[in-house]
Amino acid sequence: MADFILGAYDWLRGLHILAVIAWMAGLLYLPRLFVYHCEAEPGGELDTVLKLQEHRLLKFIMNPAMIAAWIFGILLVWSNTERAGGWAIFHQWDWLVKFAGIAVMTGLHHIFAVRKKAFEAGNNTWSQRKYRIYNEIPALVAIIIVLVATVALT
């Protein structure tokens, strides 16, 4: 199994990147839908359409993409530990920054899922402004993770 994973490293990396792209698209788009949803009349046509769009985005794109990103990411981390000779990578600042960013993205995903349920129940208490602020966080986290992962600062 280890030889297979090590041999498939480039495939795993490609699939991980694709999963992260899909996940990020959802993390950037869902709070934008929430901004529009704040303007919708409860029970109206726009409210109904946005509830459906939010549900489909979360269930059919974001959730599978997050799961795939996590699975491929874990396999990549494992293969990196095998290639680097152990778990010492977890003591490197760049890996810690990446893991913190992943934790923030996963937390945002769950916050957005809770907010979707609030809209479905007609109990949204957040303002458009708050959703606009939350809409920027995934982009900032992605910038940090990509730069840390691609620019050798050590």
CA gap 1, 38 in Å, rounded: 49
**Span 4-16, mean pLDDT?**
87
**Span 113-140, mean pLDDT?**
97
Contact 47/124 with Cβ under 8 angstroms? no
Q: Can you give the C-alpha Rg of the chain in angstroms?
A: 18
**Span 117-144, mean pLDDT?**
97
Pick from 87, 68, 66, 92: which is nearest to 13 by CA?
68
Query: What DSSP line would sit under 46-102, residue for residue?
Result: HHHHHHHHHHHIIIIIIHHHHHHHHHHHHHHHHHHHHHHTSGGGGGSHHHHHHHHHH
For residue 42, is pLDDT > 60?
A: yes
For residue 36, is pLDDT > 70?
A: yes
**Span 135-153, mean pLDDT?**
91
Write down the pTM of the prediction: 0.90
Average pLDDT of the chain? 92
Question: What does the pLDDT look like over 74-108, one tens digit per residue?
Answer: 998 888 776 666 677 778 888 899 999 999 999 99
The domain spans of the chain are 2-150
